[in-house]
Amino acid sequence: MKTNLLTILSRGFILFSALSLLSVSLMAFVNPQSVMDLVHVNLSNTDAFSSIRGVYGGVGLTIFISLLYLMRKDIHMGLIFLSMLWGFYALSRLMTIFSEGSLGAFGTQWLCIESILFGVSVILLFLHKRTLAVNY
């Protein structure tokens, strides 16, 4: 695969991931309950609202900004980061299956999505590493 095409695909994947995370982050900042509605959990106090804003909003925005930086400055590191991010998301859901039992429709759907995104990031990382080795 040509290096230029691989760079475009890798940057596109990093941007897609960043924008996906940004959408949840913005949702959490504006209305934390809307994030928790996805899993049918009611936030009942200000500490709960604050925690969802902090974790999904603040941390999500930090990840978004970090991914934009990596997309421009270090694609290889961006792909490593996304491999870990999507892989650990999927692992967390698998741990839940083994610890607490079957996932609902939401969790099952996201396990599939996160596993696919993990696979894409690993494939791009492998191709990117191979291209780096050939160029040196």
Residue 103: both structure tokens together: 């996932």
> Could you report the per-residue pLDDT of 32-44, keeping only the tens digit for each?
999 999 999 999 9
**Two tokens, residue 81:** 């980061």
* pLDDT number for residue 129: 78
pLDDT tens sequence across 52-110: 999 999 999 999 999 999 999 999 999 999 999 999 999 999 999 999 999 999 999 99
Q: What is the CB-side half-sphere exposure of residue 97 using CA atoms within 13 A?
A: 14
Q: What does the alpha-carbon distance between residue 49 and residue 36 come to, in Å, rounded to a whole number?
A: 10
Cα–Cα distance between 16 and 14 in angstroms, integer? Answer: 6
Overall number of domains in the chain: 1
> What secondary structure does DSSP assign to 62-119, as a single string?
HHHHHHHHHHHH-HHHHHHHHHHHHHHHHHHHHHHHHHH----HHHHHHHHHHHHHHH
pLDDT at 135: 58
Domain that holds residue 131: 3-135
**By three-state DSSP, how is residue 41 classified?**
coil
* pLDDT at position 1 over 70: no
